Chain A
Amino acid sequence: MSEHIVSKTIYFLIFGALMVLTVLTYWVALYDFGALNVVIALAVAVTKALLVVLFFMHVRYSTRLTKIVVISGFFWLALLIVLTLSDYFTRPGTSGVGGVPASRSTR
């Protein structure tokens, strides 16, 4: 398996998409979608990150071993976030959402 050379055209296309998505990030932030604000912001950011990882970082053309390492990396990040939140958000007590010390004043 020899090295895959990504063409300049693809790089410029991805660059254009990233620019559009950056403007989109800013534009959607001006509107209030309530609880969906975070979801939309993250969806756009994840899309951008995927484009960078797959094309700029060549993961799409990498060996399976590399792909597994990349996927497991993000999988462990997901574990970190999901398990931590499942702890904090199910704690009984303060303010209906859990018991994290919100600030110094509550310590």
Chain B
Amino acid sequence: MAEAVHTTMEHPASAHAALQHHFENMEQQREAGTLGMWIFLVTEIMFFGGMFMAYILYRSYNADAFAAASNRLNVTMGFINTIVLICSSLTMALAVYYSQVGKRKMIVVMLILTMMLGTTFLVVKAFEYYDKYEKSEIPGRLFPSRPFNWYAEEEHGKQVTQEPARDAATERNPQAVPTGQEQKPDASFASRAEMFFFIYFAMTGIHALHMVIGIGMLIVLTIMAWRDRFSPEYHSPVELGGLYWHFVDIVWIFLFPLLYLLGAHGISGGH
């Protein structure tokens, strides 16, 4: 890296074909690429960080509604998706490994496996979203007539008043009502639970968008690998694609416990 300074814009013919003219050598190019990718990922941390911040604040003020709303999510599907994503991270890491040791076929196999696992994640997610649609648990004005007050819904036929709602709630799930605060299902319960779903759809939606972009990226990488564009000297695209894929995995690692498991101890009867 610190050897002779080039005075011309051209590299000698012996240089790697992928070496860009503004880099001294392949190693410098690779390290610059990694640094640049991480700077991009830092902006992504900030991007998701804003939404996590919103989650933290609203959850801390609406603990009861958030726990109850969280229990409406399908934990099994969330759990399966977590496993699927971790598997995809492994196959992605292995794709990077095989690109480092220069095994073209194995790179392609691992990239395709990663894509399949990513697609599995999105399919499961689609079923979850559809389930929410069927249950009218979509926030906003799509279902204006259905409040997010499941306690009140159980009082079928009766008018939605505060008293029966509160009784049904405490009978059914006493753990969901934290002590010490004024937190009992009240008139504002539905809109506070709705806020959980706003955050749920925003965060999982943006996450899923990242997955879709990631799969698009994997398609390009697979084609490049198939055409034998990578070698132990040059495989930065696979490496950087891996960084992106793992980052998206990390976001889900936080989303799963924060969104799906909030009120799980309440369901199991409270220990």
Q: By the criterion of a CB under 8 Å from any partner CB, how many residues of chain A are at the interface? A: 59
For A105, give the chain B residue with the smallest CB separation: B188
What's the least CB distance linking A79 to chain B, in Å? 10
Kindly provide the distance from the CB of A7 to the nearest chain B CB, expressed in whole angstroms. 8
Taking a contact as CB atoms closer than 8 A, the residue among B38, B79, B242 that contacts A66 in the complex is: B38
B271, A30: Cβ atoms closer than 8 Å:
yes
Give the residue name and chain of the B residue nearest to A55 (CB): B93
Chain B interface residue number, banded: 35 or more
CA distance A19 to B84 in the complex (A): 10
- Say yes or no for B264: interface residue by CB 8 A criterion: yes
Please determine whether A6 and B271 come into contact, CB atoms closer than 8 angstroms.
no
Q: Which single residue of chain B is at the shortest CB-CB distance from A77?
A: B49
B residues less than 8 Å from A102 (CB atoms): 58, 61-62, 188, 192
Query: A49: which B residues are within 8 A, CB to CB?
Result: 250, 253-254
**Are the CB atoms of A81 and B49 closer together than 8 Å?**
yes
A68-93 interface (Cβ within 8 A of B): 69-70, 72-74, 76-77, 80-81, 84-85, 88
Q: How far is the CA of A42 from the CA of B41 in the complex (A)?
A: 21
A70 → chain B closest CB, angstroms? 6
Most buried by B among A2, A48, A57, A84: A57
A72 to B100, Cβ gap below 8 A? no
Establish whether residues A80 and B242, one from each chain, have CB atoms under 8 Å apart when the complex forms: no
* Residue in chain B with minimal CB distance to A47: B253
Which of B38, B86, B181, B261 is within 8 Å of A15, CB to CB? Answer: B86
Contact with B along A2-39 (1 / 0, CB 8 A): 11011110011011001100100110011110000100
Question: For the complex, is B57 an interface residue (Cβ under 8 Å from A)?
Answer: yes
What B residues does A80 contact at CB under 8 A?
46, 49-50, 53
Judged by a CB distance under 8 angstroms, whether B116 is at the interface is no
With A31-B265, A102-B61, A103-B191 in contact, is A52–B250 under 8 Å at CB? yes
Residue of A nearest to B175 (CB): A32
Chain A residue with Cβ nearest B268: A30
Contact call A29/B100, Cβ cutoff below 8 A: no
Told that A8-B94, A97-B181 touch, could you supply 13 new A-B pairs with CB distance under 8 A?
A5-B101, A6-B93, A22-B83, A30-B265, A32-B265, A42-B257, A45-B253, A48-B250, A56-B89, A56-B246, A73-B38, A73-B46, A105-B188
By a beta-carbon cutoff of 8 Å, the part of chain B in contact with chain A is 27, 30-31, 34-35, 38-39, 41-42, 45-46, 49-50, 52-53, 56-58, 60-62, 75, 79, 82-83, 86-87, 89-90, 92-94, 97, 100-101, 175, 181-182, 187-188, 191-192, 195, 239, 242-243, 246-247, 249-250, 253-254, 256-258, 261, 264-266, 268, 270-271
